[in-house]
Amino acid sequence: MDILHPRCAGLDVSKTDVKVCVRLSSPGRKPVQEITTWSSMSRDILRLRDYLIDEQVTCVVMEATGDYWKPFYYVLEDAPFEVMLVNAHDAKNLPGRKTDVSDAAWLAQLAAHGLLRASFVPPEPIRRLRDLTRTRTAITRERSREIQRLEKVLEDAGIKLSVVVSDITGVSARRMLRALASGQRDPDVLAEMSVKLLRRKIPALTQALQGRFTEHHAFLVTLHLDFIDQHTSQIDALTARIEEVMAPFQAARDRLVTIPGVSTTTADVIIAETGAEMTQFPTPGHLASWAGVCPGHHQSAGRTKNAKTRPGNRHLKGALGAAALSIANHRGTFLNAKYRHLMRHRGKPKAIVAIEHSLLTIIWNMLTDNTSYREPGPDYHQRSHPDRARNQAIRQLQQLGYTVTLTPNEAA
């Protein structure tokens, strides 16, 4: 097998140190390997960088192990050699040879022959944006959990507020809960605290607010409401910071929000996870495969054994899933019509994944061509293929027992 990198290095990274295997190949000679151990402290990583430069390596490979690779990659990425971060699944070592030293040597051997693919590591501005959007998503989920815990406390107290109101942290519900925690137990008085449209439900609120609310429940309700307020303020602070960091990518976000179902928050995640440019993804299929929203390949003896989607970028998949669910619940668009068609034939889960794949295809083309979304309309396929739509309608009527006779419209 040809040697593409005669002087390369494999790094097996851990929390405390890194095992480095420098592999030197010469024509007609057995490769020479030198194994060294370096601390994961920044000073030693800088010394490692100088060491690799002195050895004149042209390629350095490391696995994406948790977050431990980041200090090494960020220091080495500006060095005068290629740095590759690879998926651990692609660089899996042979069974029975699993040690830190053997892993480093194995990485160096694969790198020498060019058998590894580099993972996508975004540039520094996108990395900062990615940290902010992922943190906001995590805190938003934690706030949702706090709301669920609050509802459990109310259920324990016999307060059925969530049956009447859609949001137990809304203005009216929060006023009632704060009053309950402050000692007010009269359901009539509490129901009168509702505002706007919720006042129409005062009789139902009176019944829902009658329970066995004690001081114990008051303490827990106050605790959960304070946690929810803290999370809300943190989310607001993160959103303000994201707006600042998003400034260079504002044009891309403005284009993405023209897609039905893609909110500003979803667009932020898409840009943070994929970058504002699609140069790292040659085709929409590459982007869909990287995101994990296309069928996997597992074929043997001419038979496909498993076509489940492979693991991908879970942060991007979460944002695409939210957009796909929004599309599924709002009619009148091309994507919704496609979802309903696929749902009838393949079921809801597969239809959602198919819409996620379609979204990524649209996003790739929009960011590549710098264009906005153009809505084809829910009847796009009927207009594109009128004969197919006519024949399908005829078949459906015939299946119902009708004899169909077509008369052309004179006006047409």
Residue 120 located in a structural domain: no
Number of structural domains the chain divides into: 3
Top-confidence range, 126-135, 345-354, 386-395? 126-135
Residue 94 located in a structural domain: yes
State yes or no: pLDDT of 93 exceeds 70: no
Q: How many residues does the chain have?
A: 412
- The C-alpha atoms of residue 263 and residue 271 are separated, in whole angstroms, by 12
Domain co-membership, 257 together with 147? no
> Stretch 307-332: mean pLDDT, rounded?
89
Distances (CA, A) of 272 to 3, 135, 409: 36, 12, 52
Q: Tell which residue, 2, 263, 11, has the closest CA to residue 114.
A: 2
Q: Tell which residue, 402, 406, 403, has the closest CA to residue 389.
A: 406
Domain co-membership, 330 together with 276? yes
> Stretch 18-41: mean pLDDT, rounded?
91
Specify whether the CB–CB gap between 174 and 184 falls below 8 A. no
Specify whether the CB–CB gap between 9 and 57 falls below 8 A. yes
Specify whether the CB–CB gap between 10 and 109 falls below 8 A. yes
Q: Tell which residue, 176, 226, 165, has the closest CA to residue 200.
A: 165
Specify whether the CB–CB gap between 79 and 11 falls below 8 A. no
Beta strands in 14-95 (DSSP E): 17-24, 32-39, 59-63, 82-86
pLDDT confidence band for 96 (50 / 70 / 90): low
Residue 352 located in a structural domain: yes
* pTM of the full structure: 0.85
> Stretch 292-297: mean pLDDT, rounded?
77
- The C-alpha atoms of residue 355 and residue 352 are separated, in whole angstroms, by 5
Domain co-membership, 219 together with 154? yes
Convert the pLDDT of each residue in 167-183 to its tens digit.
Answer: 999 999 999 999 999 99
Residue 94 confidence (pLDDT): 61
Residue 253 vs residue 297, higher pLDDT:
253
Residue 407 located in a structural domain: no
Domain co-membership, 255 together with 292? yes
State yes or no: pLDDT of 296 exceeds 60: yes
Specify whether the CB–CB gap between 100 and 209 falls below 8 A. no
Residue with tokens 């060095």: 79
Helical (H) or strand (E) element with 108: helix 100-112
> Stretch 333-339: mean pLDDT, rounded?
92
State yes or no: pLDDT of 388 exceeds 60: yes
> Stretch 260-269: mean pLDDT, rounded?
94
State yes or no: pLDDT of 297 exceeds 80: no
Domain co-membership, 262 together with 316? yes
Q: Domain containing 151 — which CATH number?
A: 1.10.287
Distances (CA, A) of 211 to 131, 147, 158, 185, 192: 44, 19, 5, 9, 17
State yes or no: pLDDT of 302 exceeds 80: no
Residue 44 confidence (pLDDT): 95
Domain co-membership, 206 together with 263? no
State yes or no: pLDDT of 412 exceeds 60: no
Distance of CA 130 to the CA centre of its chain: 11
Q: In what order do the strands lie in the sheet with 82-86?
A: 32-39, 17-24, 7-13, 59-63, 82-86
Domain co-membership, 140 together with 88? no
Residue 396 confidence (pLDDT): 85
State yes or no: pLDDT of 410 exceeds 80: no
Q: Domain containing 25 — which CATH number?
A: 3.30.420.10
Domain co-membership, 274 together with 346? yes
Residue 162 structural domain: 125-245
Q: Tell which residue, 287, 302, 307, 298, has the closest CA to residue 361.
A: 287
Convert the pLDDT of each residue in 142-153 to its tens digit.
Answer: 999 999 999 999
Residue 386 vs residue 372, higher pLDDT:
372
Domain co-membership, 336 together with 291? yes
State yes or no: pLDDT of 295 exceeds 70: yes
Residue 398 confidence (pLDDT): 85
- The C-alpha atoms of residue 290 and residue 159 are separated, in whole angstroms, by 47
Domain co-membership, 59 together with 108? yes
Helical (H) or strand (E) element with 62: strand 59-63
- The C-alpha atoms of residue 115 and residue 25 are separated, in whole angstroms, by 16
- The number of C-alpha atoms within 13 Å of 351 and in the hemisphere containing its C-beta is 18
Q: Which residues of 316-337 are buried (b: 16+ CB within 10 A; e: fewer)?
A: bbebbbbbbebbbeeeebbbbb
Residue 402 located in a structural domain: no
Domain co-membership, 83 together with 159? no
pLDDT confidence band for 225 (50 / 70 / 90): very high
Helix or strand or coil: residue 36?
A: strand
Query: For the chain, what percent of residues have pLDDT higher than 70?
Result: 95
Residue 68 located in a structural domain: yes
Q: In degrees rounded to 5, what are phi and psi of residue 55?
A: -80, -5
Residue 21 located in a structural domain: yes
Residue 303 located in a structural domain: no
> Stretch 104-127: mean pLDDT, rounded?
90
Q: Tell which residue, 336, 246, 338, 358, has the closest CA to residue 291.
A: 358
Rounded to a whole number of angstroms, the distance between the first and last alpha carbons of the chain is 67
State yes or no: pLDDT of 138 exceeds 70: yes
pLDDT confidence band for 405 (50 / 70 / 90): confident
Domain co-membership, 92 together with 145? no
